Structure 1
Amino acid sequence: MTSPARNHFLRATAAQVTAAAEAANPMRHATGHELMLAQLAEHKRQLRQIQSIERKADAKRAMLPDYAAWVQGVLDSDSGLQDEVFMSVMVWHIDVGDFAGALPLAAYAIRHGLVMPDQYQRTTATLIAEEYAGMAIKAAEAGQPVDTGTLSEVATLVEDQDMPDEVRAKLHKAIGYGYIATVDTQQTAEQQQWSRKFALEHLQRALELHDKVGVKKDIERLERDIKNAAPSVAREGDGKG
Protein backbone atom coordinates (compact mmCIF):
# COMPACT_ATOMS: atom_id res chain seq x y z
CA MET A 1 0.00 0.00 0.00
CA THR A 2 1.43 3.34 -1.08
CA SER A 3 1.43 6.43 1.10
CA PRO A 4 0.22 9.91 0.08
CA ALA A 5 3.82 11.06 0.21
CA ARG A 6 4.93 8.32 -2.20
CA ASN A 7 2.06 9.10 -4.60
CA HIS A 8 3.05 12.76 -4.58
CA PHE A 9 6.67 11.81 -5.27
CA LEU A 10 5.66 9.60 -8.21
CA ARG A 11 3.44 12.29 -9.73
CA ALA A 12 6.17 14.91 -9.35
CA THR A 13 8.80 12.62 -10.84
CA ALA A 14 6.54 11.70 -13.76
CA ALA A 15 5.89 15.38 -14.42
CA GLN A 16 9.61 16.13 -14.42
CA VAL A 17 10.38 13.25 -16.77
CA THR A 18 7.58 14.29 -19.13
CA ALA A 19 8.73 17.91 -19.10
CA ALA A 20 12.30 16.85 -19.87
CA ALA A 21 11.13 14.62 -22.72
CA GLU A 22 9.03 17.42 -24.19
CA ALA A 23 11.97 19.83 -23.96
CA ALA A 24 14.10 17.38 -25.92
CA ASN A 25 11.39 16.78 -28.52
CA PRO A 26 12.05 18.90 -31.65
CA MET A 27 8.31 18.80 -32.46
CA ARG A 28 7.21 20.29 -29.13
CA HIS A 29 6.31 23.66 -30.70
CA ALA A 30 5.06 22.20 -33.99
CA THR A 31 1.76 23.22 -35.48
CA GLY A 32 -0.89 20.65 -36.34
CA HIS A 33 0.22 20.71 -39.98
CA GLU A 34 3.86 20.17 -39.03
CA LEU A 35 2.85 17.21 -36.90
CA MET A 36 0.91 15.77 -39.83
CA LEU A 37 3.90 16.27 -42.13
CA ALA A 38 6.13 14.49 -39.61
CA GLN A 39 3.67 11.61 -39.42
CA LEU A 40 3.48 11.44 -43.21
CA ALA A 41 7.26 11.35 -43.47
CA GLU A 42 7.43 8.50 -40.97
CA HIS A 43 4.70 6.56 -42.77
CA LYS A 44 6.45 7.05 -46.11
CA ARG A 45 9.65 5.77 -44.55
CA GLN A 46 7.78 2.66 -43.40
CA LEU A 47 6.25 2.18 -46.84
CA ARG A 48 9.67 2.32 -48.50
CA GLN A 49 10.63 -0.74 -46.48
CA ILE A 50 7.80 -2.76 -48.10
CA GLN A 51 8.49 -4.31 -51.51
CA SER A 52 5.07 -5.88 -52.16
CA ILE A 53 2.54 -3.56 -53.79
CA GLU A 54 -0.26 -5.52 -52.17
CA ARG A 55 1.30 -5.17 -48.73
CA LYS A 56 1.93 -1.47 -49.33
CA ALA A 57 -1.78 -1.05 -50.00
CA ASP A 58 -2.61 -2.94 -46.79
CA ALA A 59 -0.25 -0.66 -44.86
CA LYS A 60 -1.77 2.47 -46.38
CA ARG A 61 -5.25 1.21 -45.51
CA ALA A 62 -4.15 0.88 -41.88
CA MET A 63 -2.53 4.33 -41.90
CA LEU A 64 -5.41 6.28 -43.45
CA PRO A 65 -7.52 6.62 -40.27
CA ASP A 66 -4.64 8.62 -38.74
CA TYR A 67 -5.33 11.36 -41.29
CA ALA A 68 -9.14 11.31 -41.31
CA ALA A 69 -9.64 14.20 -38.87
CA TRP A 70 -7.08 16.38 -40.64
CA VAL A 71 -8.56 15.75 -44.07
CA GLN A 72 -12.09 16.44 -42.85
CA GLY A 73 -10.89 19.69 -41.35
CA VAL A 74 -9.36 20.72 -44.67
CA LEU A 75 -12.58 19.91 -46.52
CA ASP A 76 -14.68 21.78 -43.96
CA SER A 77 -12.48 24.89 -44.06
CA ASP A 78 -12.51 24.95 -47.88
CA SER A 79 -9.51 27.29 -47.79
CA GLY A 80 -7.83 25.92 -50.90
CA LEU A 81 -4.35 26.07 -49.38
CA GLN A 82 -1.70 23.80 -50.86
CA ASP A 83 -1.28 20.78 -48.57
CA GLU A 84 1.12 17.87 -49.17
CA VAL A 85 -0.58 15.77 -46.50
CA PHE A 86 -4.01 16.17 -48.07
CA MET A 87 -2.76 15.40 -51.58
CA SER A 88 -0.82 12.32 -50.46
CA VAL A 89 -3.83 10.98 -48.58
CA MET A 90 -5.99 11.49 -51.68
CA VAL A 91 -3.62 9.25 -53.67
CA TRP A 92 -3.54 6.65 -50.91
CA HIS A 93 -7.34 6.39 -50.96
CA ILE A 94 -7.15 5.59 -54.66
CA ASP A 95 -4.25 3.18 -54.13
CA VAL A 96 -6.28 1.09 -51.67
CA GLY A 97 -9.30 1.03 -53.99
CA ASP A 98 -11.41 3.48 -51.97
CA PHE A 99 -12.72 5.29 -55.04
CA ALA A 100 -15.72 6.81 -53.30
CA GLY A 101 -13.61 7.99 -50.37
CA ALA A 102 -11.08 9.67 -52.66
CA LEU A 103 -13.68 11.50 -54.75
CA PRO A 104 -14.40 14.43 -52.37
CA LEU A 105 -10.65 14.98 -52.02
CA ALA A 106 -10.18 14.87 -55.79
CA ALA A 107 -13.01 17.34 -56.33
CA TYR A 108 -11.54 19.69 -53.73
CA ALA A 109 -8.07 19.46 -55.30
CA ILE A 110 -9.39 20.18 -58.81
CA ARG A 111 -11.64 23.01 -57.67
CA HIS A 112 -8.82 24.79 -55.86
CA GLY A 113 -6.12 24.04 -58.40
CA LEU A 114 -3.91 22.16 -55.94
CA VAL A 115 -0.74 20.61 -57.33
CA MET A 116 0.73 17.20 -56.65
CA PRO A 117 3.87 16.77 -54.50
CA ASP A 118 7.00 16.67 -56.68
CA GLN A 119 7.48 12.90 -56.56
CA TYR A 120 4.31 12.28 -58.57
CA GLN A 121 5.55 14.25 -61.62
CA ARG A 122 2.05 14.66 -63.05
CA THR A 123 -0.65 17.31 -62.95
CA THR A 124 -3.39 16.71 -60.41
CA ALA A 125 -6.07 16.00 -63.02
CA THR A 126 -3.78 13.63 -64.92
CA LEU A 127 -2.91 11.69 -61.79
CA ILE A 128 -6.53 11.44 -60.66
CA ALA A 129 -7.72 10.20 -64.06
CA GLU A 130 -4.84 7.77 -64.55
CA GLU A 131 -4.89 6.33 -61.04
CA TYR A 132 -8.65 5.82 -61.01
CA ALA A 133 -8.53 4.26 -64.48
CA GLY A 134 -5.60 2.00 -63.69
CA MET A 135 -7.15 0.59 -60.53
CA ALA A 136 -10.55 0.12 -62.20
CA ILE A 137 -9.11 -1.70 -65.21
CA LYS A 138 -7.09 -3.95 -62.92
CA ALA A 139 -10.22 -4.76 -60.92
CA ALA A 140 -12.31 -5.44 -64.03
CA GLU A 141 -9.68 -7.75 -65.49
CA ALA A 142 -9.61 -9.65 -62.19
CA GLY A 143 -13.37 -10.11 -62.33
CA GLN A 144 -14.01 -7.72 -59.45
CA PRO A 145 -16.84 -5.13 -59.41
CA VAL A 146 -16.09 -1.63 -60.67
CA ASP A 147 -17.79 1.51 -59.37
CA THR A 148 -18.91 2.97 -62.72
CA GLY A 149 -20.80 5.78 -60.97
CA THR A 150 -17.66 7.11 -59.31
CA LEU A 151 -15.63 6.67 -62.50
CA SER A 152 -18.22 8.69 -64.42
CA GLU A 153 -18.03 11.42 -61.78
CA VAL A 154 -14.26 11.48 -62.18
CA ALA A 155 -14.64 11.81 -65.95
CA THR A 156 -16.96 14.78 -65.43
CA LEU A 157 -14.60 16.26 -62.83
CA VAL A 158 -11.60 16.28 -65.20
CA GLU A 159 -13.57 16.95 -68.38
CA ASP A 160 -12.23 20.49 -68.86
CA GLN A 161 -8.73 19.74 -67.53
CA ASP A 162 -5.74 19.42 -69.82
CA MET A 163 -4.09 16.01 -69.90
CA PRO A 164 -2.55 13.60 -72.43
CA ASP A 165 -5.13 11.97 -74.71
CA GLU A 166 -3.73 8.57 -73.71
CA VAL A 167 -4.74 9.18 -70.09
CA ARG A 168 -8.26 10.29 -70.95
CA ALA A 169 -8.56 7.28 -73.25
CA LYS A 170 -7.57 5.02 -70.36
CA LEU A 171 -10.31 6.56 -68.21
CA HIS A 172 -12.95 5.90 -70.90
CA LYS A 173 -11.62 2.35 -71.24
CA ALA A 174 -12.05 1.86 -67.49
CA ILE A 175 -15.64 3.10 -67.60
CA GLY A 176 -16.35 0.85 -70.56
CA TYR A 177 -14.94 -2.16 -68.75
CA GLY A 178 -17.00 -1.22 -65.72
CA TYR A 179 -20.22 -1.30 -67.74
CA ILE A 180 -19.25 -4.61 -69.32
CA ALA A 181 -18.90 -6.04 -65.82
CA THR A 182 -22.46 -4.95 -65.00
CA VAL A 183 -24.09 -6.79 -67.92
CA ASP A 184 -24.54 -10.08 -66.07
CA THR A 185 -25.89 -8.31 -62.99
CA GLN A 186 -28.79 -6.70 -64.86
CA GLN A 187 -32.21 -8.29 -64.42
CA THR A 188 -33.66 -7.79 -67.90
CA ALA A 189 -32.41 -8.17 -71.45
CA GLU A 190 -33.12 -4.49 -72.06
CA GLN A 191 -31.00 -3.42 -69.09
CA GLN A 192 -28.19 -5.70 -70.23
CA GLN A 193 -28.37 -4.13 -73.66
CA TRP A 194 -28.11 -0.63 -72.19
CA SER A 195 -25.00 -1.69 -70.25
CA ARG A 196 -23.44 -2.99 -73.46
CA LYS A 197 -24.29 0.21 -75.32
CA PHE A 198 -22.85 2.44 -72.58
CA ALA A 199 -19.72 0.30 -72.58
CA LEU A 200 -19.45 0.53 -76.35
CA GLU A 201 -19.74 4.33 -76.34
CA HIS A 202 -16.90 4.68 -73.86
CA LEU A 203 -14.65 2.16 -75.58
CA GLN A 204 -15.23 3.86 -78.94
CA ARG A 205 -14.33 7.22 -77.36
CA ALA A 206 -11.21 5.64 -75.87
CA LEU A 207 -10.18 4.39 -79.31
CA GLU A 208 -10.76 7.84 -80.83
CA LEU A 209 -8.43 9.38 -78.28
CA HIS A 210 -5.72 6.73 -78.52
CA ASP A 211 -5.67 4.02 -81.17
CA LYS A 212 -3.34 1.81 -79.11
CA VAL A 213 -5.51 1.82 -75.97
CA GLY A 214 -6.25 -1.87 -76.47
CA VAL A 215 -10.03 -1.98 -76.93
CA LYS A 216 -10.53 -2.97 -80.58
CA LYS A 217 -11.40 -6.60 -79.82
CA ASP A 218 -13.66 -5.50 -76.95
CA ILE A 219 -15.53 -3.20 -79.34
CA GLU A 220 -15.96 -5.98 -81.89
CA ARG A 221 -17.24 -8.32 -79.19
CA LEU A 222 -19.70 -5.73 -77.86
CA GLU A 223 -21.04 -4.94 -81.32
CA ARG A 224 -21.59 -8.64 -81.90
CA ASP A 225 -23.28 -9.10 -78.51
CA ILE A 226 -25.54 -6.10 -79.06
CA LYS A 227 -26.61 -7.47 -82.44
CA ASN A 228 -27.20 -10.98 -81.09
CA ALA A 229 -29.18 -9.72 -78.10
CA ALA A 230 -31.47 -7.49 -80.15
CA PRO A 231 -34.14 -10.18 -80.77
CA SER A 232 -34.36 -10.98 -77.04
CA VAL A 233 -34.77 -7.30 -76.23
CA ALA A 234 -37.49 -7.00 -78.87
CA ARG A 235 -39.36 -10.01 -77.52
CA GLU A 236 -39.12 -8.66 -74.00
CA GLY A 237 -40.49 -5.35 -75.22
CA ASP A 238 -43.39 -7.08 -76.99
CA GLY A 239 -44.19 -9.01 -73.83
CA LYS A 240 -44.47 -5.80 -71.86
CA GLY A 241 -46.87 -4.42 -74.42
Structure 2
Amino acid sequence: MADSPAKRHLQRVEAEEAARRAAGGNLVEGTPIYQQTLLQLATDRARLKQIQSSQAKGQLKAALLPTYDAYIEGVLAADAGGQDDVVSTLMLWNIDAGLYDAALDIAAYVLAHGLTMPDRFERTAGCVVAEEIGIAALNALKTGAAFDPGVLSRAVEVTDGHDMPDQVRARLLLARARGLLATNTEATPLDAEAVSTAIDDLRRAIQLHDSCGGKEDLKRAERLLTKIEGNQSND
Protein backbone atom coordinates (compact mmCIF):
# COMPACT_ATOMS: atom_id res chain seq x y z
CA MET A 1 0.00 0.00 0.00
CA ALA A 2 2.57 2.60 1.10
CA ASP A 3 5.63 1.41 -0.83
CA SER A 4 7.43 4.69 -1.55
CA PRO A 5 7.76 8.17 -0.02
CA ALA A 6 5.94 9.67 -3.02
CA LYS A 7 3.03 7.27 -2.69
CA ARG A 8 2.83 7.85 1.07
CA HIS A 9 2.72 11.60 0.48
CA LEU A 10 -0.05 11.19 -2.07
CA GLN A 11 -2.06 9.03 0.32
CA ARG A 12 -1.66 11.58 3.10
CA VAL A 13 -2.86 14.40 0.84
CA GLU A 14 -5.80 12.35 -0.45
CA ALA A 15 -6.82 11.36 3.10
CA GLU A 16 -6.62 14.95 4.31
CA GLU A 17 -8.67 16.25 1.38
CA ALA A 18 -11.28 13.50 1.79
CA ALA A 19 -11.61 14.22 5.49
CA ARG A 20 -11.93 17.96 4.89
CA ARG A 21 -14.68 17.39 2.33
CA ALA A 22 -16.53 15.16 4.78
CA ALA A 23 -16.45 18.00 7.33
CA GLY A 24 -18.26 16.07 10.03
CA GLY A 25 -20.53 14.08 7.74
CA ASN A 26 -20.19 10.59 6.31
CA LEU A 27 -19.06 11.49 2.79
CA VAL A 28 -15.59 10.12 3.51
CA GLU A 29 -17.12 6.64 3.14
CA GLY A 30 -17.47 7.14 -0.59
CA THR A 31 -13.97 8.43 -1.32
CA PRO A 32 -11.44 6.23 -3.14
CA ILE A 33 -8.73 6.61 -0.46
CA TYR A 34 -11.13 5.52 2.27
CA GLN A 35 -12.35 2.50 0.29
CA GLN A 36 -8.78 1.48 -0.55
CA THR A 37 -7.71 1.76 3.08
CA LEU A 38 -10.80 -0.06 4.32
CA LEU A 39 -10.06 -2.90 1.87
CA GLN A 40 -6.48 -3.10 3.13
CA LEU A 41 -7.79 -3.18 6.69
CA ALA A 42 -10.14 -6.06 5.86
CA THR A 43 -7.24 -8.00 4.33
CA ASP A 44 -5.09 -7.45 7.41
CA ARG A 45 -7.96 -8.36 9.76
CA ALA A 46 -8.28 -11.66 7.89
CA ARG A 47 -4.59 -12.34 8.59
CA LEU A 48 -5.09 -11.54 12.26
CA LYS A 49 -8.06 -13.91 12.55
CA GLN A 50 -5.73 -16.77 11.68
CA ILE A 51 -3.71 -16.12 14.86
CA GLN A 52 -4.93 -17.21 18.28
CA SER A 53 -2.20 -15.68 20.47
CA SER A 54 -3.00 -12.16 21.64
CA GLN A 55 0.71 -11.43 21.95
CA ALA A 56 1.36 -12.58 18.40
CA LYS A 57 -1.58 -10.53 17.16
CA GLY A 58 -0.13 -7.47 18.85
CA GLN A 59 3.22 -8.07 17.19
CA LEU A 60 1.62 -8.42 13.77
CA LYS A 61 -0.40 -5.25 14.31
CA ALA A 62 2.81 -3.40 15.17
CA ALA A 63 4.29 -4.61 11.88
CA LEU A 64 1.20 -3.65 9.89
CA LEU A 65 0.51 -0.22 11.37
CA PRO A 66 3.15 1.74 9.41
CA THR A 67 1.16 0.87 6.28
CA TYR A 68 -1.58 3.18 7.55
CA ASP A 69 0.57 6.07 8.79
CA ALA A 70 -0.04 8.31 5.77
CA TYR A 71 -3.82 7.87 5.97
CA ILE A 72 -3.93 8.59 9.71
CA GLU A 73 -1.66 11.62 9.34
CA GLY A 74 -3.90 13.05 6.65
CA VAL A 75 -7.14 12.56 8.57
CA LEU A 76 -5.73 13.99 11.79
CA ALA A 77 -4.25 16.97 9.91
CA ALA A 78 -7.68 17.78 8.45
CA ASP A 79 -9.20 17.64 11.96
CA ALA A 80 -12.65 17.71 10.38
CA GLY A 81 -14.43 14.78 12.02
CA GLY A 82 -16.78 12.44 10.22
CA GLN A 83 -17.28 8.78 11.03
CA ASP A 84 -14.25 6.74 9.98
CA ASP A 85 -14.04 3.07 10.91
CA VAL A 86 -10.42 2.92 9.76
CA VAL A 87 -9.33 5.57 12.24
CA SER A 88 -11.22 4.13 15.22
CA THR A 89 -10.00 0.60 14.47
CA LEU A 90 -6.38 1.70 14.16
CA MET A 91 -6.67 3.55 17.46
CA LEU A 92 -7.30 0.18 19.11
CA TRP A 93 -4.62 -1.56 17.08
CA ASN A 94 -2.04 0.91 18.36
CA ILE A 95 -3.06 0.10 21.93
CA ASP A 96 -2.84 -3.63 21.22
CA ALA A 97 0.62 -3.11 19.74
CA GLY A 98 1.77 -1.17 22.82
CA LEU A 99 2.10 2.07 20.84
CA TYR A 100 0.25 4.10 23.43
CA ASP A 101 1.33 7.61 22.47
CA ALA A 102 0.24 7.05 18.88
CA ALA A 103 -3.02 5.53 20.12
CA LEU A 104 -3.72 8.55 22.30
CA ASP A 105 -2.98 10.96 19.46
CA ILE A 106 -5.70 9.19 17.48
CA ALA A 107 -7.97 8.93 20.54
CA ALA A 108 -7.86 12.69 21.05
CA TYR A 109 -9.24 13.10 17.53
CA VAL A 110 -11.77 10.27 17.81
CA LEU A 111 -13.21 11.50 21.10
CA ALA A 112 -13.15 15.19 20.21
CA HIS A 113 -15.22 14.51 17.09
CA GLY A 114 -17.49 11.86 18.56
CA LEU A 115 -16.42 9.02 16.29
CA THR A 116 -17.82 5.62 17.21
CA MET A 117 -16.21 2.21 17.10
CA PRO A 118 -17.20 -0.04 14.16
CA ASP A 119 -20.44 -1.99 14.58
CA ARG A 120 -18.65 -5.18 15.67
CA PHE A 121 -17.58 -3.42 18.89
CA GLU A 122 -20.05 -3.04 21.74
CA ARG A 123 -18.02 -0.48 23.72
CA THR A 124 -17.83 3.25 23.16
CA ALA A 125 -14.54 4.70 21.94
CA GLY A 126 -13.87 6.32 25.32
CA CYS A 127 -14.48 3.03 27.09
CA VAL A 128 -12.12 1.22 24.72
CA VAL A 129 -9.29 3.66 25.43
CA ALA A 130 -9.76 3.68 29.20
CA GLU A 131 -10.27 -0.05 29.53
CA GLU A 132 -7.51 -1.30 27.26
CA ILE A 133 -4.83 1.08 28.56
CA GLY A 134 -5.90 0.53 32.17
CA ILE A 135 -5.68 -3.25 31.80
CA ALA A 136 -2.34 -3.08 29.99
CA ALA A 137 -0.88 -0.85 32.70
CA LEU A 138 -2.11 -2.96 35.61
CA ASN A 139 -0.84 -6.16 33.97
CA ALA A 140 2.58 -4.57 33.45
CA LEU A 141 2.74 -3.27 37.02
CA LYS A 142 1.82 -6.69 38.43
CA THR A 143 4.98 -8.12 36.88
CA GLY A 144 7.15 -5.23 37.99
CA ALA A 145 7.46 -3.90 34.46
CA ALA A 146 7.56 -0.17 33.89
CA PHE A 147 4.59 1.64 32.41
CA ASP A 148 4.87 5.29 31.46
CA PRO A 149 2.86 7.38 33.97
CA GLY A 150 2.51 10.02 31.28
CA VAL A 151 0.52 7.60 29.12
CA LEU A 152 -1.87 6.94 31.99
CA SER A 153 -2.31 10.65 32.67
CA ARG A 154 -3.05 11.29 28.99
CA ALA A 155 -5.55 8.42 28.97
CA VAL A 156 -7.33 9.84 32.03
CA GLU A 157 -7.41 13.32 30.52
CA VAL A 158 -8.52 12.36 27.00
CA THR A 159 -11.36 10.16 28.29
CA ASP A 160 -12.54 12.62 30.93
CA GLY A 161 -16.27 13.25 30.58
CA HIS A 162 -16.86 10.32 28.24
CA ASP A 163 -19.42 7.74 29.29
CA MET A 164 -18.21 4.30 30.38
CA PRO A 165 -18.93 1.80 33.17
CA ASP A 166 -17.74 3.05 36.56
CA GLN A 167 -15.45 0.07 37.02
CA VAL A 168 -13.62 0.89 33.80
CA ARG A 169 -12.83 4.43 34.91
CA ALA A 170 -11.96 3.12 38.38
CA ARG A 171 -9.46 0.68 36.86
CA LEU A 172 -7.76 3.43 34.88
CA LEU A 173 -7.50 5.68 37.95
CA LEU A 174 -6.14 2.76 39.97
CA ALA A 175 -3.55 2.13 37.26
CA ARG A 176 -2.47 5.77 37.22
CA ALA A 177 -2.09 5.84 41.00
CA ARG A 178 -0.14 2.59 41.12
CA GLY A 179 2.02 3.67 38.21
CA LEU A 180 2.86 6.93 39.93
CA LEU A 181 3.58 5.30 43.28
CA ALA A 182 5.79 2.72 41.58
CA THR A 183 8.16 5.52 40.54
CA ASN A 184 8.90 6.31 44.20
CA THR A 185 12.47 5.25 44.98
CA GLU A 186 15.22 6.33 47.34
CA ALA A 187 17.05 7.89 44.42
CA THR A 188 13.98 9.74 43.11
CA PRO A 189 11.40 10.02 45.90
CA LEU A 190 7.97 11.42 45.17
CA ASP A 191 6.99 14.73 46.66
CA ALA A 192 3.84 15.38 48.69
CA GLU A 193 1.96 16.78 45.69
CA ALA A 194 2.53 13.66 43.60
CA VAL A 195 1.48 11.34 46.41
CA SER A 196 -1.60 13.48 47.04
CA THR A 197 -2.52 13.08 43.37
CA ALA A 198 -2.25 9.32 43.71
CA ILE A 199 -4.40 9.41 46.85
CA ASP A 200 -7.06 11.43 45.04
CA ASP A 201 -7.07 8.88 42.20
CA LEU A 202 -7.39 5.98 44.61
CA ARG A 203 -10.20 7.57 46.57
CA ARG A 204 -12.08 8.32 43.37
CA ALA A 205 -11.49 4.79 42.09
CA ILE A 206 -12.84 3.26 45.30
CA GLN A 207 -15.82 5.60 45.21
CA LEU A 208 -16.61 4.51 41.66
CA HIS A 209 -16.05 0.80 42.27
CA ASP A 210 -15.63 -0.37 45.84
CA SER A 211 -14.06 -3.67 44.77
CA CYS A 212 -11.46 -2.12 42.45
CA GLY A 213 -8.62 -3.37 44.66
CA GLY A 214 -7.22 0.00 45.64
CA LYS A 215 -7.88 0.06 49.39
CA GLU A 216 -4.49 -1.28 50.43
CA ASP A 217 -2.80 1.02 47.92
CA LEU A 218 -4.65 3.93 49.52
CA LYS A 219 -3.44 2.99 52.99
CA ARG A 220 0.16 2.76 51.79
CA ALA A 221 -0.12 6.06 49.94
CA GLU A 222 -1.54 7.81 53.00
CA ARG A 223 1.29 6.43 55.16
CA LEU A 224 3.81 7.62 52.57
CA LEU A 225 2.28 11.10 52.55
CA THR A 226 2.39 11.25 56.36
CA LYS A 227 6.07 10.25 56.26
CA ILE A 228 6.91 12.87 53.62
CA GLU A 229 5.10 15.62 55.50
CA GLY A 230 6.81 14.57 58.73
CA ASN A 231 10.23 14.75 57.10
CA GLN A 232 9.43 18.19 55.71
CA SER A 233 8.42 19.50 59.15
CA ASN A 234 11.72 18.24 60.60
CA ASP A 235 13.82 20.03 58.01
TM range (shorter): 0.7 to 0.9
Q: Runs of at least 4 residues of structure 1 off by over 6 A?
A: none
The number of aligned residues is 205
Which residue of structure 1 aligns with residue 79 of structure 2? 78
Correspondence 1:1-241 to 2 at 5 A = 31-184=32-185, 187-188=188-189, 191-235=190-234, 238=235
| Amino acid of the structure 2 residue aligned with 1:162 | D
CA RMSD of aligned residues (A): 1.9
| Amino acid of the structure 1 residue aligned with 2:225 | I
Which residue of structure 2 aligns with residue 3 of structure 1? none
Which residue of structure 1 aligns with residue 25 of structure 2? none
Q: For 1:67-95, what per-residue CA distance to the aligned partner results, in whole angstroms no more than 9, with x for missing partners?
A: 00010011111221211111111101111
| Amino acid of the structure 1 residue aligned with 2:158 | L
CA–CA separation in structure 1 for the residues paired with 2:230 and 2:159: 38
CA–CA separation in structure 2 for the residues paired with 1:35 and 1:116: 19
CA–CA separation in structure 1 for the residues paired with 2:41 and 2:115: 18
Q: Describe the shift of the 1:193–1:142 C-alpha distance in structure 2 as closer, same or farther (beyond 3 A).
A: farther
CA–CA separation in structure 2 for the residues paired with 1:216 and 1:159: 23
CA–CA separation in structure 2 for the residues paired with 1:144 and 1:197: 23
CA–CA separation in structure 2 for the residues paired with 1:192 and 1:224: 13
Do the aligned residues in 2 keep the contact of 1:183 with 1:196 (CA within 8 Å)? no
Larger radius of gyration: 1
Structure with a larger share of its residues in helix: 1
Unaligned 5+ runs, structure 1 = 1-29
Higher relative contact order (CA 8 A, sep 6+): 2
Identity of aligned residues (%): 38
Do the aligned residues in 2 keep the contact of 1:155 with 1:171 (CA within 8 Å)? yes
Which residue of structure 2 aligns with residue 4 of structure 1? none
